[in-house]
Structures are given as structure tokens and as C-alpha cells.
């Protein structure tokens, strides 16, 4: 049987501590060269959806032999770039039937090659982002960190907090995001979920002042955390490149990145209304930050690089690019739990395999 | 509905002329930069299947906006390298349940991103190889070519002949391959299928002497066609790099390749028993043939490069590496025909899409 799982299944099956543990083992393998990842690729073309829209076929692969799983994550996106105020925003459109997005994870066995499971990527996508920044906290934040200031209250913010709370005894959280209504709702929900006070504040400075850990969790294409806000001993955490002002990155005593794959492989068709300036390459060029000069997460986990030497250091973790590898690692847990708990729709594996030599 | 198709469905739905026509349009788009392809990648790791075996997760993507389709082709392989005589051979093992191989094509719509179809890659894999070499024949062989000498009688040989016969008025074929029994059976089958005499011969020289078109269709890692066998006006065609002796390639008046993507992106895990010497990189280094110096198929089709200037020239087409793009182009025809003819198992598209933002 090849399992078809839903986002709800994934949410029920995978706990944050499980996800962190699987990624931690996988990054250790990666540090030793035993686990591997293929850099993300983005194929961008025009689409009949609209003149201002683009079509993107994105994929990333990874294999964790010790967990017996290889994964490929695929996104098939319609993306627009509307002007919001003075700034361009990248907006994915749920253009598929029933107003849905298209993102898939396929899991394969390294033991015999068989397709194990197919499921949408959305829930796992934010779980693995959370777990990755959680590992940043585990290896770089002070052991005695008790407070978080989070900038953002969207889809990613919840798993960022859950992950941080899984690796440190967090007692208080302050949250700022521009939309008060969203922020209040987020704080109420997270107070319940985490069983600690998650307080809404109306200025970003209020959220970060005195915080042991600052978590940026936005979809901003501009900086939201600035050098002037740094305090001794702080750990800074970001889920995408532009969030932390380059001067703040440079001011940290230690910086680590998720991966040395600095940018996706990008293939753009003629006629695609693609705005390079909103993308990694533009950001890299403008800010002259050499991500390869910083240790990557696997080096912290394996002890080859030091995440923090003392309580006074300012540390900074940049989750600069995702890896298919994360989907393989966390996917192995999802598949194992699904089999144990008899979850999912089983389709004949013969539908996804063949007698013909490929 | 997202369609699940079988290899049998694909074989029924896609004719060689349709496949050639779709690829021809797609290559024209590619020449203009309107269609795009992402270089194949191979992730290679150890497998518990056996110490001498490796696990390979391979993927390639391509998008043909004019046909409205993006495709990703995925292989999840168990591969061994047994010694056969003095030579190493690369052997894929059907290790998945029911002794099956694992290769999949996923098609997506560029109009709205939706997953259109999922099907095994085996039948399409050899159809597109055939169609590609068929286009090589169309643009490089003499207009009055009437005879083929084919070296090989395996899985790929059938579609090689079918494709050549779709673009030239072929009257006779001679076939050599080392295993007499296979060769005789192949000739009998192809005589019926093509309705022209396909004759079995016991030496490769007999097959190629006097042939207007020489088609190499083997899985050999060593040359099977040599410079000394070249005759004026011949078209040489190969489905993989090592088949035509490098001196024979250099002796041709015009050479074209399928693609300037010369080698896959290769990521190899520690401990994988991977034999570099059987692979592209080793061959490239040893033979100092610069594939980028030759025009690629899209340039022939768009008229930017000349395939043949007169009947005396010796031409050579090297199908040096596959592209996900081919699966998108031919896949668009398969999907269209499947919808027209109501073929395939329809699964709810909601299973492969999501309300969650990926």
C-alpha cells in the first residue's frame, strides 16, 4: 500500500518534539556526509492565469539512509506580485480547483525504492521550519533563556513558538505584528496551547526589549529587526533572509545558517513576469553577506562549530533556505506513525510502480 | 479529478507521431527560451538492500507553457554493478513489492497549478528517447534515407525504429545484437510492426555496411560503433554517450546533441558504493568531447543550426542526457487523450492539493 495522507493526518501524527528529534538525527548524518540533499530548484514561466502572474514548478530532494527514507517535495504555484502600499508582496494564489494550493511530498524507501506515501506539504512545511529554528535555539540560545519576543503572528509563528518551547523552559512570550486583530487572536490561542502567558504588544520594540530570544516570523521582504535593538546574551532567530537587518547580523558574535545552499537553482522562461529584486539573488548581492562563511546547522549539532561560548554573546540563526532533506527526515516519522496508527488511504503500490524497466 | 494512468494506458494513448510532434513544438519553444527544463539530479546513498547496491533518488523537471503543462519525473532506484565478463554493468533491480521498478511522472497545469496526472515513467521514457532520436533523423539524415542498421535489440530499439520510420520512408532494416535469440525475436516482431523487412545479421559490420542511418540502441558502457565503419552520407544516432567511439564522433561533418546539460547534478552520500568511472563525468574527462561546442536539438529545429548541408556529409546525433521537459511535452498529449477517451483512474484532486498555504 502507498499511503495518501492529508494535512490533518500529518498534524495529528507528527509532534514537534518528534519532528525536532528526527531533524536532529538527520542533520548529524548530514554533517558526516551520510545524509544528502539536492538544492531546491525553481522553474518559472508565464501562466494564462494572468499577465501579472507567474507559474512556478519547484522541487527539492533529500535522502536520510539511516531513517530509510528519501523524499521529494514539489510545489506547483501560481504567484502574483501585487503592490501593497509602496512595497511589492509575493502572494501565492490558491488557483487549483476548490481554491486550493498545490504542494506535495512523496516519500520513498531507501531499502527497496518503493513509494511509501504521498501527502500535501503545508503542515509539514511549517513544522520543519519551526523544528529547524528550534534546533537553532537549542544550540545557540542561552540555557537559561526564559523569554521570547516574537515578531509576527501568522501561519509560521505558531510552530516557531512551539519549537522554542520544546527546547527551552520558556515562561513568557511577547508578540508584535502589524495587524492587531490577528495578533490578539494569536496570543489568545498560543496562551492556551503553550500554557504560558503570550502577551500582545503594540510596538516591535516592546516585544523584543529584554527578550532572551527574538524570533522573526514574517513574510516581509524588508527588515523587521534592527541592530539598535540588540541586547547582550540575546539569541536572534529568523525564518527568511530579509527579516534581520544585515548590520544586526554582522553585529552578532556568532551567526549560523541552516544550509550552505545559498539560493535555489533558478530557471526562468522568456515572458515570465518575474521580479528578481524580490528574490534571494538580489538580496545577496545588495547585502554582501557571505552565508558560506557561517557554520551551517549540521556543524553545530555535530559539535564542529560552537553555537555559543558564554551567556553574554549575541547569537543569530538564519533559516536561509529549505531543504528536501527536512521532508525526508520528518516524513519518516509521519510514515511510521501512520502505519502504527492505521491512518491514511492505502492505494495499491502497483499504481505507482512498474514492471517496465524505467 | 487527478488521473492515475498505467503504462498500458500510456502505450495506448500516445502514438509515436504525436510524441514527435509534441516534442518538436516543445523544442522550438525551448530554442526561443519560452520552455524550460531543470537539469536532472541524482542523489545516491547506501541501501540496506545489499552492500554492493546503491539507492538513487533521481528527478528532473520541465515546463512547456504553450502546452500548459509542467512535469516532474522521479526515479527511486536500487542499482547494482555486477561484473559481467570483464566489464561492470549497471543493473537496476525491481526491488519494490511484486518485483517492480519505481519511476513516476507527475503532470501539473501551468494554468492553475493543479496536479493533472500521475503515471509510471517506463513506457513514456522509451517513447521520448525514440522521438528525440527520431527528430535527430528528421533534421540530420538524408531526405532520401531508405535503410537503417541498428545495433541493439533491447527495450529501446523498438521505439528507435518506430521513430525513424515516422520521419523517413524507411524500406529495410538490418539488426545486430550479441544475443541471437533476442535479435531474431526482435526482427520478427519489428517486421510485423513496421511492415518492412527487419533482418537479423550476425556481425555489427553487416548491419551498418551501406546503411543510410546507423542507430545505436544499447546499454553498453563501451563503444559499439567505430570510425572505420563510417560511409559518406551516413547519419549516426546514439541513445547514450559511450556507444559511438569518440574518434567516430570527431570524424563526422556535423554533430548535434540533445542538450547542453552535459551531466546530472550528482550528490553522493558517504558509504555509497558508487562507481564514478561508469558515469558521465568519467567518460567526459576521458574523451575530451565538449558537448557544449555542438548545437543542441532545439537549435536544429529552430533553424539556428544546420543539421545537414548536402547528401555527402556524415552527421551524428548524440542523445546525451534526458530532460524532464520531454515528459512535460509528451505528457501533455497523454493527458489530453486520456481525458478525451475517458481513460485512467480519477482520484479527488483535493487529495493532492490543500487549503493550507505551503
| Domains detected in chain A | 2-124+324-352 (3.30.1780.10), 125-263+277-318 (3.40.50.720)
Contacts of B75 in chain A (CB under 8 A): 358
pLDDT, residue A321, reads: 87
Q: Which residue of A has its CA nearest to B328?
A: A57
pLDDT, residue B280, reads: 59
Contacts of A46 in chain B (CB under 8 A): 65, 110
Tens of pLDDT along B73-124? 999 999 998 877 776 677 899 999 999 999 999 999 999 999 999 999 999 9
Choose among B44, B77, B120: nearest Cβ to A354.
B120
Which of A50, A116, A107 lies closest to A79, judged by CA? A50
Tens of pLDDT along B131-154? 999 999 999 999 999 999 999 999
pLDDT, residue A242, reads: 86
Q: List the beta strands (DSSP E) in chain B.
A: 2-4, 36-46, 53-64, 69-80, 83-84, 87-88, 91-93, 103-109, 115-120, 147-151, 172-176, 198-200, 213-216, 235-238, 254-257, 265-268, 315-318, 345-347
Do residue A106 and residue B104 have CB atoms under 8 angstroms apart?
Answer: yes
Chains A, B: CB contacts within 8 A come to: 282
Which of B278, B238, B244 lies closest to B258, judged by CA? B238
pLDDT, residue A107, reads: 98
Distance CA A71, CA A108 (A): 6
Contacts of A92 in chain B (CB under 8 A): 357-358
Q: Which residue of A has its CA nearest to B46?
A: A65
pLDDT, residue B279, reads: 53
Looking at the complex, report in whole angstroms how far the Cα of residue B53 sits from the nearest Cα belonging to chain A. 10
CA torsion through residues A12, A16, A22, A23, sign: positive
Contacts of B54 in chain A (CB under 8 A): none
pLDDT, residue A282, reads: 63
Distance CA B314, CA B245 (A): 15
Contacts of B78 in chain A (CB under 8 A): 112-113
For residue B278, pLDDT beyond 80: no
Looking at the complex, report in whole angstroms how far the Cα of residue A277 sits from the nearest Cα belonging to chain B. 21
pLDDT, residue A281, reads: 60
Confidence of residue B243 (pLDDT cuts 50, 70, 90): very high
For residue B196, pLDDT beyond 70: yes
Angle between helices A122-140 and A16-31 (to 10 degrees): 70
Average pLDDT across chain B, whole number:
94
Do residue B102 and residue A354 have CB atoms under 8 angstroms apart?
Answer: yes
Distance CA A119, CA A64 (A): 18
Do residue B33 and residue A123 have CB atoms under 8 angstroms apart?
Answer: no
Distance CA B111, CA B195 (A): 42
Choose among B47, B61, B114: nearest Cβ to A57.
B61
CA torsion through residues A16, A17, A21, A24, sign: positive
Q: Which residue of A has its CA nearest to B353?
A: A102
Do residue A4 and residue B351 have CB atoms under 8 angstroms apart?
Answer: yes
For residue B241, pLDDT beyond 90: no
Walk along chain A (358 residues) in steps of 10 and give the mean pLDDT of each run: 98 97 97 95 96 94 98 97 75 96 98 98 96 98 98 95 98 96 97 98 97 93 93 96 92 95 88 70 73 95 97 96 95 98 98 94
Amino acid at each position: 500500500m502507498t499511503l495518501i495522507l492529508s494535512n490533518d493526518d500529518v498534524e495529528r501524527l507528527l509532534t514537534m518534539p518528534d519532528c525536532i528529534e528526527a531533524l536532529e538525527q538527520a542533520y548529524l548524518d548530514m554533517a558526516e556526509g551520510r545524509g544528502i540533499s539536492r538544492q531546491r530548484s525553481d522553474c518559472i514561466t508565464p501562466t494564462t492565469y494572468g499577465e501579472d502572474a507567474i507559474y512556478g514548478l519547484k522541487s527539492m530532494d533529500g535522502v536520510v539512509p539511516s531513517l530509510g527514507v528519501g523524499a521529494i517535495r514539489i510545489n506547483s504555484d501560481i504567484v502574483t506580485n501585487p503592490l501593497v502600499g509602496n512595497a511589492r508582496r509575493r502572494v501565492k494564489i490558491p488557483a487549483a480547483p476548490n481554491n486550493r494550493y498545490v504542494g506535495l511530498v512523496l516519500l520513498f524507501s531507501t531499502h527497496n525504492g518503493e513509494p511509501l506515501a504521498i501527502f500535501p506539504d503545508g503542515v509539514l512545511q511549517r513544522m520543519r521550519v519551526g523544528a529547524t529554528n528550534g534546533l537553532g535555539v537549542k544550540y545557540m540560545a542561552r540555557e537559561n533563556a526564559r523569554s521570547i519576543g516574537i515578531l509576527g503572528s501568522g501561519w509560521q509563528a505558531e510552530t516557531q513558538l512551539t519549537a522554542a518551547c520544546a527546547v527551552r523552559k520558556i515562561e513568557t512570550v511577547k508578540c508584535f505584528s502589524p495587524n492587531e486583530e490577528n495578533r490578539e487572536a494569536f496570543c489568545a490561542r498560543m496562551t492556551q496551547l503553550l500554557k504560558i502567558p503570550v502577551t500582545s504588544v503594540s510596538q516591535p520594540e516592546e516585544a523584543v526589549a529584554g527578550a532572551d530570544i527574538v524570533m522573526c516570523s514574517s513574510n516581509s521582504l524588508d527588515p523587521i529587526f534592527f541592530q539598535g535593538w540588540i541586547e547582550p546574551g540575546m539569541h536572534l532567530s529568523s525564518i527568511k533572509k530579509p527579516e534581520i537587518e544585515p548590520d544586526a547580523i554582522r553585529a552578532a558574535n556568532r551567526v549560523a545558517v541552516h544550509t550552505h545552499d545559498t539560493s535555489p537553482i533558478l530557471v526562468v522562461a522568456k515572458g515570465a513576469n518575474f521580479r528578481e529584486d524580490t528574490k534571494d539573488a538580489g538580496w545577496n548581492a545588495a547585502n554582501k553577506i557571505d552565508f558560506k562563511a557561517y557554520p551551517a546547522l549540521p556543524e553545530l549539532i555535530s559539535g564542529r562549530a560552537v553555537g555559543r561560548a558564554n551567556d553574554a554573546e549575541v547569537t543569530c540563526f538564519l533559516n536561509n533556505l529549505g531543504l528536501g532533506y527536512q521532508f525526508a527526515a520528518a516524513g519518516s516519522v509521519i510514515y511510521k506513525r501512520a502505519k502504527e496508527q492505521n491512518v491514511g488511504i492505502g492505494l495499491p503500490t502497483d499504481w505507482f510502480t512498474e514492471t517496465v524497466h524505467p
